[in-house]
């Protein structure tokens, strides 16, 4: 059994992650470290866990946690996560980071978007970006894997093959996202009070969202082409689905069918990427690690439609894929036929 430690007990995604991990046949939760809830039992805080997990939150530092584990999964905010990650890796443990700290290719772009100095700049550009279906080759030997942002994950997965194969123009891509409330990772973001989200659509970070920068950086880095995107995330009144509507200009004489064939060929071995002919919906992937993708002609552009569960893709599902890759476990281990058993 792989011994897993979890950092960041106060994150609202914690319960979902724990419920998911409880079913992984090869991973065992060794310890959960938090600050404000140390000493509490997990099932006091999360009554869904009564009779299912009897384990205290520990008030221990990152390196002590590392000494108990094979790998540590971090839900800490950016900056904090970076400092913990360095300690963990120095202690000889591996590190799967849900924060943005290791997602970018260089410190300059990180610092521009996060307004803080990066204290481990030499690793940037070396840490694999955690989309298993695209970058698994580098997972096996990775000390650190940077899980993608929840908005970035489906976007990169859809666009990277098309850019690599020169099927689309890279100077004018539109990415329009409709996201449930649990798609937000870090503040600042719109209010998540019930009556601010209920019966409301609210865009945010239009033209200035940090994952907008992340997507452009990752796509440009992986394809050696400059990529320009218009990016608008919107909160819609639901808990956890995410729908990405991507509008592209195909390269000269490329058809919607060629776009579709390219995606099919890239992902034919990937259990969790389903290139479908019907229109995807978020319900069809809710509480699973699947991403459903369809391609349509639409006026002068081609539209790619992708549905994911934001708490899995770009969350715990991605993290489990990272761990499977790191430790050479079966690709679908802990994910196949599994849907989220969390409350969230």
Residues within window 234-273 making contact with a second copy, judged by CB under 8 A: 234, 236-241, 243, 245, 247, 249, 271
DSSP state at residue 169: -
What's the closest the beta carbon of residue 15 comes to a second copy, in angstroms?
10
Beta carbon nearer to a second copy, 77 or 280: 280
If you write DSSP's letter for every residue of 217-269 in order, what string do you get? HHHHHHHTS---EEEEEEE-SSSSEEEEEEEEPBPTT--HHHHHHHHHHHHTT
Beta carbon nearer to a second copy, 7 or 238: 238
Residue 200 binding a second copy, by CB under 8 A: yes
Q: Of 157, 222, 305, 329, which one interacts with a second copy (CB under 8 A)?
A: 305
Residue 236 and residue 181: Cα distance in Å, rounded?
Answer: 7
Q: Which two tokens stand for residue 79?
A: 């900056």
What's the closest the beta carbon of residue 215 comes to a second copy, in angstroms?
10
Stretch binding a second copy (CB under 8 A), from 58-66, 75-83, 160-168, 285-293 = 285-293
User: Minimal CA–CA distance to 71: which of 134, 136, 5, 119?
Assistant: 5
What is the three-class DSSP state of 309? strand
Residue 62 and residue 33: Cα distance in Å, rounded?
Answer: 8
Q: Of 14, 229, 259, 320, which one interacts with a second copy (CB under 8 A)?
A: 229
Beta carbon nearer to a second copy, 68 or 109: 109
What's the closest the beta carbon of residue 314 comes to a second copy, in angstroms?
16
What is the longest distance spanned by two Cα atoms in the chain? 63
Q: Of 35, 90, 225, 228, which one interacts with a second copy (CB under 8 A)?
A: 228
Size of the site for a second copy (CB under 8 A): 81
Cα radius of gyration rounded to whole Å, the chain = 19
Q: Of 187, 224, 278, 328, which one interacts with a second copy (CB under 8 A)?
A: 278
Q: Of 28, 250, 274, 331, which one interacts with a second copy (CB under 8 A)?
A: 274
Residue 344 binding a second copy, by CB under 8 A: yes
Residue 194 and residue 280: Cα distance in Å, rounded?
Answer: 27
Beta carbon nearer to a second copy, 125 or 226: 226
User: Minimal CA–CA distance to 209: which of 225, 185, 191?
Assistant: 185
Q: Of 64, 67, 138, 339, which one interacts with a second copy (CB under 8 A)?
A: 339
Residue 189 binding a second copy, by CB under 8 A: no
Residue 26 binding a second copy, by CB under 8 A: no
Query: Do 124 and 111 form a contact (C-beta atoms < 8 A)?
Result: no
Write the CB contacts of 205 (distance below 8 Å, at least 6 apart in sequence).
Answer: 189, 212, 233
If you write DSSP's letter for every residue of 5-66 in order, what string do you get? EEE-TTSTTHHHHHHHHTT-SSEEEEEEE-STTTTSBHHHH-GGGTTT---BEE---HHHHH
User: Minimal CA–CA distance to 79: which of 110, 109, 58?
Assistant: 110
Residue 296 binding a second copy, by CB under 8 A: yes
Beta carbon nearer to a second copy, 52 or 54: 52
- Name 301's bridge partners: 298
What's the closest the beta carbon of residue 12 comes to a second copy, in angstroms?
7
Ranges within 134-173 binding a second copy (CB under 8 A) = 171-172
Residue 206 binding a second copy, by CB under 8 A: yes
What's the closest the beta carbon of residue 249 comes to a second copy, in angstroms?
8
Residue 188 binding a second copy, by CB under 8 A: no
Residue 37 binding a second copy, by CB under 8 A: no
Ranges within 69-88 binding a second copy (CB under 8 A) = none
Ranges within 40-69 binding a second copy (CB under 8 A) = 47-48, 50-52
């Amino acid at each position: 059994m792989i011994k897993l430690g979890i950092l960041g007990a106060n994150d609202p995604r914690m319960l979902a992650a724990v419920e998911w991990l409880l079913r992984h046949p090869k991973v065992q939760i060794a310890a959960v470290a938090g600050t404000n809830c140390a000493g509490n039992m997990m099932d006091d805080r999360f009554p869904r866990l009564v009779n299912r997990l009897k384990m205290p939150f520990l008030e221990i530092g990152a390196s002590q946690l590392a000494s108990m584990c094979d790998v540590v999964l971090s839900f800490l905010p950016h900056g904090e996560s970076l400092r913990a990650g360095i300690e963990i890796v120095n202690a000889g443990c591996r590190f799967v980071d849900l924060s943005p700290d290791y997602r970018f290719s260089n410190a300059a772009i990180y610092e521009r978007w996060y307004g803080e100095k990066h204290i481990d700049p030499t690793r940037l550009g070396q840490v694999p970006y955690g989309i298993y279906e695209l970058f698994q080759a580098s997972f096996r030997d990775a000390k650190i894997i940077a899980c993608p942002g929840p908005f970035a994950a489906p976007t990169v997965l859809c666009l990277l093959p098309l850019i690599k194969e020169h099927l689309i123009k890279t100077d004018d891509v539109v990415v329009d996202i409709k996201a449930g409330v649990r798609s937000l990772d870090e503040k600042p973001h719109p209010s998540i009070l019930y009556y601010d989200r209920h019966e409301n659509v609210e865009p945010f970070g239009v033209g200035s969202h940090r994952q907008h920068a992340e997507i452009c950086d990752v796509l440009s880095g992986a394809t050696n082409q400059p990529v320009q995107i218009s990016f608008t995330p919107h909160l819609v009144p639901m808990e956890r689905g995410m729908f990405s509507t991507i509008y592209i200009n195909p390269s000269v004489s490329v058809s919607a069918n060629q776009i579709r064939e390219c995606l099919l060929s890239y992902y034919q071995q990937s259990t969790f990427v389903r290139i479908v002919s019907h229109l995807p919906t978020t319900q069809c992937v809710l509480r699973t690690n699947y991403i459903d993708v369809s391609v349509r002609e639409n006026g002068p552009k081609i539209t790619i439609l992708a549905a994911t569960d934001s708490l899995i893709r770009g969350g715990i599902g991605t993290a489990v894929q990272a761990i499977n890759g790191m430790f050479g476990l079966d690709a679908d281990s802990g994910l196949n036929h599994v849907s989220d058993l969390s409350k969230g």
